[in-house]
Amino acid sequence: AVVLAIATLPVAASFAGMLMQAAQGYTRFQPLLYLQLVSADTLPLIIALVAMAMGVHAIVNQKFVGHLIIISYWVLTSVLSNLGFNHHLYQIGVPGSFTYSDLNGWGPYLPRTIVLAAYNVAFCFLIATLGYLVLVRGTSAGWTERRREGMRRWRHGAGLVAGACTAVVLLSGGVYFHNANILNAYTEVRDAERGVKAWELEYKPLAELPQPRIVAVTLRHDYYPERRAAVWYGPMRAVNRNALPVDTLFVSLPSSAPSPVDRWTATSNTGLALDSLVFDRAATLIHDDLPNGVRLYRFAEPLAQGESLTVHFAGRFEPRGFPNDAFNNDVAANGSFMNSQYVPGFGYQEGGELGDDDIRQRNDLAPKPRMKALDDPAVRENNYSSSDADWITFDETTCTAPDQISIAPGYLKREWTENGRRCFQYVMDRPILSFYATLSARYTVTREEHNGIALEVYHLPEHSFALPSMLQASKDGLDYYGANFSPYLYRQYRIIEFPQYAGFAQAFPNTIPYSESIGFIYRQEEGDDKIDLAYFVTAHELAHQWWAHQVIGGNGQGSTMFSEGLAEYSALTVMEKRYGREAAQKFLRRELDGYLRGRGNERKKEVPLLYVENQPYIHYQKGSLVFYALRDYIGEEQMNRALRAFIGKWALQGPPYPTGRDLLAEFERVTPDSLKYVLTDLFEEITFYENKTDSARATKRPDGRWDVHLVFNSRKLKGDSLGNTREVPMADYVDVGIFGERVAGQKLGAPLLVEKVRITQPVTTLDLVVDAEPKRAGIDPYNKLIDRTPEDNSTAVEAGS
Ligand SMILES: [Zn+2]
């Protein structure tokens, strides 16, 4: 009866889910899928746990002790899990995480889910059966009697059940172990960390070895979606741009050793292989450490300054069975997405080090700065996306299953069939960053043209909800960025859906891989109060075609300020033009909350925007607040003049690469002296305001207009890296606003008066006159400044006397 009751749960849950969908006007029901999703993973575990609990209770025959054992077991599993012991053979009842993708279905997870379900259910039924053998009914609990009754039950079927359960436990456990530990590597995260530490200690001393720089990549990529495999190979040309000759080549390859994914899990990484690596000059392999992704070669003849080297490489990914956790889903049956990290690079890759201070400490490694200091001259030597290349030429041929389309940066030059497989050649007609990706899936392509630029969205046929938003954002962004920053570099802008194994969108040249989860399986309702995410993300990624793919910062503090920060600001600007000021305010308010939350969770140090160390809450959230506030002070025209000048000087340049100082210099040029303090506050220091309106009173005048008497408080504070603040004197221009009747969707009401007032006192009293009846008034009502209590900035206007 209990099992039956539990079994109805998923049906009820699926049904409830569908009712909710119907209520929202969504009609693409997939009842079988919902049932599968609920029942494949959770249901067997619930049944298993109930069985285990019943078994334990029966065995100990004492309610309290039984509860205690079950609770202790739960505490133990989560303690083990937090220590990095996550093997599912001893984590009974703990679900193995999986991701269902509309694009790729169950993907590689189903076999593991089935084996684990069988193992868990059989294991727990075994305990339940043992419990049944000793279960006491009534009060006749003598030991002799219990044993006799147990023997009777064993003969009458319980023995058979116990035997069957044991067989299933052994069989499924064996299959699981074979997959997780033999075909793949199960590694506890601490062991994986020790591996990365050993790599750092061994190879960091070689970080200064002069290495050639990649200048041209010609890649061939073959996908075999049906077996989740891929091979890639090609020639790559590199040039020695150092004054010193290169005698030792440090080749960095994707590492096949397990690596830490987060604080608790490590990847298996098996299935990665290097098939060949040859050079067009004599070289001896002097050190071979493929698991750590390092090979060192000594050239017979050193590579002199200006000389070039051609490298032919071939790599392969061929997964075997299933791992315990952390599946590599870069190659999928439908929806592969592999980026340039699979292609060899040169030199020590600092990015592979353990970064988190706590994790470094538990491995006896000194804490390390997140990034090079802003003014360290070494920052300008490399861009922050690659340390072994600047701007490269790119040509990729990619072949895949006959029913799939494969895409890479560049323009389609040729499409053909080869051995029954579909091939595409993409060539980029101008140098790009050494940062590219290739994708393959069964796509429908939605195309539009906008002023000579081809807009293309590659998506699952059913995923069409967000296409209008994506296309609109593309057009709006191309128009605005093209007119105000610099011309768009390409004749095409492509958005390509990938499965929700990751939840981001990422900008490569003319190519935007875009997770189904943040755009495609999500629908914006007409009149929806929420921010149109698909529109915003599309505008943000498009902005990266300028902020990253035209101007890229050096590898140090501050550089993400003008890739992520300006992309966020640019997207906000086009969104405001399309959806209006209210939408922008709503967005900024969310950004403010995000920034304040982010700094509350900072574990190392908060830095001013100019010094940002790739901290999302600073470069995204604070970035959009700061750039929006700056535009508000200096005006859109001056803002765009500065951005245009910055691009004009630095587009497609480097090394030396620009830093945040170069952007700030452009802002200084267009900012009047009276507002120079704003640049310091916004970029070079951490600044807060505590603005609060105490009272707003209005009286109608004989001429029909209204007198408004406003009293507000203002404080200005500076923060340090540890989150402490101190008050500083204020002589700042801040908005004062008075608003009338509110229409639907407005937070404040129709603006009757908004002007900047110079505030020099902690308490300010203002008398203002407006034409219509005021309803709400206050200081910095739009929350343009960073204020830790933004809600008290405006207040309802009361009738005065
Ligand atoms: Zn971005």
The alpha carbon of 560 and the centre of ligand 1 are apart by a number of angstroms equal to 9
The alpha carbon of 567 and the centre of ligand 1 are apart by a number of angstroms equal to 6
DSSP type of residue 383: B
**pLDDT over threshold 60, residue 139:** no
Instruction: For Cα atoms 785, 789, 795, give the angle at the middle one, nearest 5 degrees.
Output: 90
**pLDDT over threshold 60, residue 381:** yes
Gap between the Cα atoms of 51 and 45, Å rounded: 10
Q: In the prediction, which pLDDT does 35 show?
A: 64
The alpha carbon of 541 and the centre of ligand 1 are apart by a number of angstroms equal to 6
Gap between the Cα atoms of 458 and 421, Å rounded: 19
Q: Report residue 7's pLDDT band, with 50, 70 and 90 as the boundaries.
A: low
* Interval 328-357 mean pLDDT: 94
The alpha carbon of 739 and the centre of ligand 1 are apart by a number of angstroms equal to 35
**Structure-block tokens of residue 153:** 């039950």
Q: Report residue 21's pLDDT band, with 50, 70 and 90 as the boundaries.
A: low
Q: In the prediction, which pLDDT does 180 show?
A: 94
* Interval 685-712 mean pLDDT: 95
319: left (phi over 0), alpha (psi -120 to 50) or beta: beta
Q: Which helix (H) or strand (E) holds 571?
A: helix 566-579
pLDDT tens per residue, range 90-133: 988 887 888 889 999 989 998 998 899 899 889 888 888 888 88
Mean pLDDT across the chain = 91
Q: In the prediction, which pLDDT does 529 show?
A: 66
The alpha carbon of 506 and the centre of ligand 1 are apart by a number of angstroms equal to 7
Between 144 and 580, the more confident residue is 580
Query: Domain residue spans in the chain?
Result: 32-183, 208-368+387-410, 435-547, 567-680, 686-799
3-state secondary structure of 263: coil
- Nearest residue to 627 via CA among 639, 638, 612: 639
The alpha carbon of 551 and the centre of ligand 1 are apart by a number of angstroms equal to 13
**pLDDT over threshold 70, residue 414:** yes
**pLDDT over threshold 90, residue 527:** no
Q: Which residues pair with 231 in a beta bridge?
A: 222, 316
Q: What backbone torsions phi and psi does residue 295 show, to the nearest 5 degrees?
A: -135, 135
Q: How far is CA 90 from CA 93, 95, 127, 169, 644, in A?
A: 9, 12, 14, 12, 60
DSSP symbols for 208-253:
TS---EEEEEEEEEEEEGGGTEEEEEEEEEEE--SSS-EEEEEEE-
Cβ partners under 8 Å of residue 551, min gap 6: 562, 646, 647, 650, 651, 653, 658
Helices of type H across 397-526: 467-484
Residue entry with tokens 């890739």? 563
**pLDDT over threshold 70, residue 659:** yes
414: left (phi over 0), alpha (psi -120 to 50) or beta: beta
Q: In the prediction, which pLDDT does 776 show?
A: 94
**Structure-block tokens of residue 108:** 């590689």
The alpha carbon of 540 and the centre of ligand 1 are apart by a number of angstroms equal to 6
The alpha carbon of 5 and the centre of ligand 1 are apart by a number of angstroms equal to 47
The alpha carbon of 77 and the centre of ligand 1 are apart by a number of angstroms equal to 38
**pLDDT over threshold 70, residue 83:** yes
- Nearest residue to 653 via CA among 508, 561, 553: 553
Q: In the prediction, which pLDDT does 82 show?
A: 83
**pLDDT over threshold 70, residue 40:** no
Gap between the Cα atoms of 248 and 21, Å rounded: 61
Q: How far is CA 508 from CA 434, 435, 761, in A?
A: 10, 7, 50
Q: What backbone torsions phi and psi does residue 255 show, to the nearest 5 degrees?
A: -80, 140
pLDDT tens per residue, range 305-319: 999 999 999 999 999
Q: In the prediction, which pLDDT does 440 show?
A: 98
Please give the torsion angle defined by the CA atoms of residues 135, 141, 142 and 147, in that order, rounded to the nearest 10 degrees. Answer: -10
Q: In the prediction, which pLDDT does 10 show?
A: 60
Q: Report residue 532's pLDDT band, with 50, 70 and 90 as the boundaries.
A: confident
**Structure-block tokens of residue 554:** 């050096």
Supply the CATH classification number for the domain 435-547. Answer: 1.10.390.10
The alpha carbon of 76 and the centre of ligand 1 are apart by a number of angstroms equal to 40
CATH topology classification for 686-799? Immunoglobulin-like (2.60.40)
**Structure-block tokens of residue 166:** 């044991």
**What number of other Cβ atoms are within 10 A of residue 294's Cβ?**
20
Query: Is residue 703 exposed (0-12), middle (13-18) or buried (19+ Cβ within 10 Å)?
Result: exposed
69 and 60 Cβ atoms separated by less than 8 Å: yes
Cβ partners under 8 Å of residue 78, min gap 6: none
The alpha carbon of 397 and the centre of ligand 1 are apart by a number of angstroms equal to 27
Residue 547, Cα to own-chain centre: how many angstroms? 18
Q: Dump strand ranges (E) for 650-801.
A: 686-700, 706-719, 725-728, 732-739, 751-759, 763-770, 776-779, 794-796, 798-799
The alpha carbon of 635 and the centre of ligand 1 are apart by a number of angstroms equal to 24
Gap between the Cα atoms of 512 and 539, Å rounded: 11
Please give the torsion angle defined by the CA atoms of residues 124, 127, 128 and 132, in that order, rounded to the nearest 10 degrees. Answer: 170
**What number of other Cβ atoms are within 10 A of residue 242's Cβ?**
16
DSSP symbols for 293-357:
TEEEEEEEEEE-TT-EEEEEEEEEE---S--SS----SS-SS-EEEEGGGS-EES--GGGS---H
Task: Identify residue 274 by its one-letter amino acid code.
Answer: L
Gap between the Cα atoms of 135 and 773, Å rounded: 79
Cβ partners under 8 Å of residue 313, min gap 6: 233, 234, 236, 274, 276, 277, 343, 344
Gap between the Cα atoms of 437 and 511, Å rounded: 9
Q: Report residue 295's pLDDT band, with 50, 70 and 90 as the boundaries.
A: very high
The alpha carbon of 543 and the centre of ligand 1 are apart by a number of angstroms equal to 8
Q: In the prediction, which pLDDT does 157 show?
A: 85
The alpha carbon of 514 and the centre of ligand 1 are apart by a number of angstroms equal to 12
Gap between the Cα atoms of 563 and 550, Å rounded: 10
Which range has the top average pLDDT, 113-117, 385-389, 422-426, 790-794?
422-426
* Interval 764-790 mean pLDDT: 94
pLDDT tens per residue, range 232-250: 999 999 999 999 999 999 9
The alpha carbon of 781 and the centre of ligand 1 are apart by a number of angstroms equal to 29
Q: What backbone torsions phi and psi does residue 189 show, to the nearest 5 degrees?
A: -60, -35
The alpha carbon of 799 and the centre of ligand 1 are apart by a number of angstroms equal to 48
Lowest mean pLDDT among 17-26, 286-295, 512-521, 675-684: 17-26
Gap between the Cα atoms of 557 and 565, Å rounded: 13
The alpha carbon of 621 and the centre of ligand 1 are apart by a number of angstroms equal to 12
213 and 238 Cβ atoms separated by less than 8 Å: yes
pLDDT tens per residue, range 141-151: 677 877 888 88
Query: Is residue 18 exposed (0-12), middle (13-18) or buried (19+ Cβ within 10 Å)?
Result: middle
The alpha carbon of 193 and the centre of ligand 1 are apart by a number of angstroms equal to 29
3-state secondary structure of 428: coil
Gap between the Cα atoms of 292 and 573, Å rounded: 45
Task: Identify residue 266 by its one-letter amino acid code.
Answer: A
Q: How far is CA 149 from CA 124, 134, 142, 680, in A?
A: 22, 8, 11, 84
Between 107 and 268, the more confident residue is 107
The alpha carbon of 112 and the centre of ligand 1 are apart by a number of angstroms equal to 34
Rounded percentage of the chain residues whose pLDDT exceeds 90: 72
**pLDDT over threshold 90, residue 270:** no
The dihedral through the CA atoms of 164, 169, 174, 175 has a sign that is: positive
Q: Report residue 153's pLDDT band, with 50, 70 and 90 as the boundaries.
A: confident
The alpha carbon of 701 and the centre of ligand 1 are apart by a number of angstroms equal to 52
- Nearest residue to 503 via CA among 490, 493, 516, 494: 516
